[in-house]
Amino acid sequence: MSGPLEGIRILAVSQFGAGPYGTLMLADLGAEIIKIEDPATRGDVSRSVPPGLAEDDSLYFQCFNRNKRSLLLNLGATEGNEIFHRLVKISHGVFNNLRGDVPERLGLTYDALKEQNAAIVCCSLSAYGRQGSQASVPGYDPLMQASEGYMSLTGGPGQPPTKCGVSVIDFTAGVSAALGLMAGIWSAQRTGVGCDVNVSLRDTAISMLNYYAVWYLNRGMVPPRLADSSHALFVPAQTFRTSDGYLAIFCGKEKFWQELCQAFGKPELAAESRFCNFEQRDKHKPELLAILEPLFASRTTAEWVDLLTGKVPCAPVRSMAEALDDPALRSVNMIIEVEHPVFGVVREAGCPIRISGDTPEHRPAPALGEDTEEILSEYLGYSPQEIQTLRERGII
C-alpha cells in the first residue's frame, strides 16, 4: 500500500468494531496495520458474525479490516511474546481495544515495551479507561448510549429512550484513538520517546455531549426529548411531513428563516413579533408549527427540495437503502469495490478522509493468518523450518 501514512507500521491487537474501525482509517491512508490474532480462538470474533459467512471470514469482518495484514500469534506463550517484542523493535505503534485492565497484564503498555523500542507508542481503547474502579468492566456502544445520556436525548416525548441506529460512540472512539495514536507517533518521531495513549468509550461519549454538557453544567439545562427530531433551541429545525414523506429543515441562521418565509410566499411571517428571532420562535413554537405544518404538507418532498435547495438547508428523509444507492457516493469513492477470493466483488463504505494527490488502493481483509509466514521470514528472518516448528507448537 502507498498513501500519506506509508512507512508507518502498527501492531493491532483488536477485534469487533471500535478498534478495527479506527485502524481501518489508518490502513486506508497507507499505514501497515498488522492485525495480531489468537490461534486458540481462530482470530477476531467478527470473522464469525453473519450474514455473509465463509471459512474464518465474514462480510462484517471485511468492512472493518480491509487493507490490513493478519498474523496468527499466541501472545500468552513465551516464544509468542518474544516474536511480538521483535516486531515492536521495527514498529511505530501498538494498538489494542481490550478491557482496561488487560493491556498491562499482556505487556502492551509503554512501560512494558520501551526497552524494546524507546519510541514505541502504545494506544489503548477501552470501555472506561485503564485506571479507576471501572477499568475491569467491559462495555459496548449500546450500553454507553444508555449510561451516558444518549438514549435519554433520543426519541420522541412520552416514548421510551432510544439508541441511535448506528454505533456512533464505537466509531467515534475508534477514530479518536487513531488520532491519539498518530499524535503520539508524531511526537515520538521528533523526540525519540514514545508514550501511552488512552481513549475510552465513556470519555468519548461524554466529549460528544459537548454543548448539551455546557448547558447543563453551567445553567442546569437538561434538553427534553422533542417531537419530530427537533433541535433543542433552533426553530424551525426538525422534520416536517410532506404530501408523500418527510423533509428535514435546519434554520440555524436568521437568514434561513427569512428565506423559508419567502419560499412559502409569506414574507410577513418573518417580521411578525412572535416569530422574528430564535428566542421568540422557540417561545411561540406551537403557534408557528400550526402554521408551518399544513404548508409543508401541501407539496411533495421532492418539490420542497427543488424549491429550497441553495436557500434553506434541507434534506429528504431517506431510507438507508436510498442513501447507499445514491450515485453521488460512487462519484466520490464513498462506495468502493474490493475483489475478494470467495465473496467476489464486495461493495463497502469508503474512507471519508480525502488527501490531495492520494489515489487510494483497496485490498480485502486478510484471511486468517494470511501474512504470518511472510512477516516472520521477511521482517524477522525466521527460516521455513523454524516457522514450521512454531506452527506445530501452536505459537503461530
Spell out the domain ranges in the chain: 9-207+330-392, 246-316
Averaged pLDDT for residues 210-220 = 97
How far apart, in whole angstroms, are the C-alpha atoms of residue 222 and residue 153?
A: 9
Q: What is the pLDDT of residue 360?
A: 86
- 236: cis peptide before it, omega within 30°? yes
How far apart, in whole angstroms, are the C-alpha atoms of residue 180 and residue 11?
A: 15
Q: In the beta sheet, which residues pair with residue 36?
A: 71
pLDDT digits (tens, 9 = 90+) for 6-34: 999 999 999 999 999 999 999 999 999 99
How far apart, in whole angstroms, are the C-alpha atoms of residue 4 and residue 384?
A: 34
Q: What is the pLDDT of residue 2?
A: 76
Averaged pLDDT for residues 196-223 = 97
- Per residue, what are the HEC states of the chain? CCCCCCCCEEEEECCCCHHHHHHHHHHHCCCEEEEEECHHHCCCHHHHCCCCEECCEEHHHHHHHCCCEEEECCCCCHHHHHHHHHHHHCCCEEEECCCCCHHHHHCCCHHHHCCCCCCCEEEEEECCCCCCCCCCCCCCHHHHHHHCCHHHHCCCCCCCCCCCCCCHHHHHHHHHHHHHHHHHHHHHHHHCCCEEEEEEHHHHHHHHHHHHHHHHHHHCCCCCCCHHHCCCCCCCEEEEECCCCEEEEECCCHHHHHHHHHHHCCCHHHHCHHHCCHHHHHHCHHHHHHHHHHHHCCCCHHHHHHHHCCCCCEEECCCHHHHHCCHHHHHCCCEEEEEECCCEEEEEECCCCCCCCCCCCCCCCCCCCCCHHHHHHHHCCCCHHHHHHHHHCCCC
Report phi then psi at 340, rounded to 5.
-120, 140
pLDDT digits (tens, 9 = 90+) for 32-59: 999 999 999 999 999 999 999 999 999 9
Averaged pLDDT for residues 195-211 = 98
Topology of the domain covering 9-207+330-392: Rossmann fold (3.40.50)
Task: Specify the pTM.
Answer: 0.94
Question: Grid coordinates representing 289?
Answer: 408549527
pLDDT digits (tens, 9 = 90+) for 160-184: 999 999 999 999 999 999 999 999 9
Q: What is the mean pLDDT of the chain?
A: 96
Percent over 90 (pLDDT), the chain: 97
Residue 197 banded pLDDT, cuts 50, 70, 90 = very high
pLDDT digits (tens, 9 = 90+) for 90-148: 999 999 999 999 999 999 999 999 999 999 999 999 999 999 999 999 999 999 999 99
Residue 1 banded pLDDT, cuts 50, 70, 90 = low
Residue 240 near residue 247 (C-beta atoms within 8 A): yes
pLDDT digits (tens, 9 = 90+) for 353-394: 999 988 888 999 999 999 999 999 999 999 999 999 999 999
How far apart, in whole angstroms, are the C-alpha atoms of residue 162 and residue 164?
A: 7
CATH 2.60.130.10 for domain 246-316, yes or no, is: no
Look up cell 511526537; give the residue.
Answer: 187
Percent over 70 (pLDDT), the chain: 100
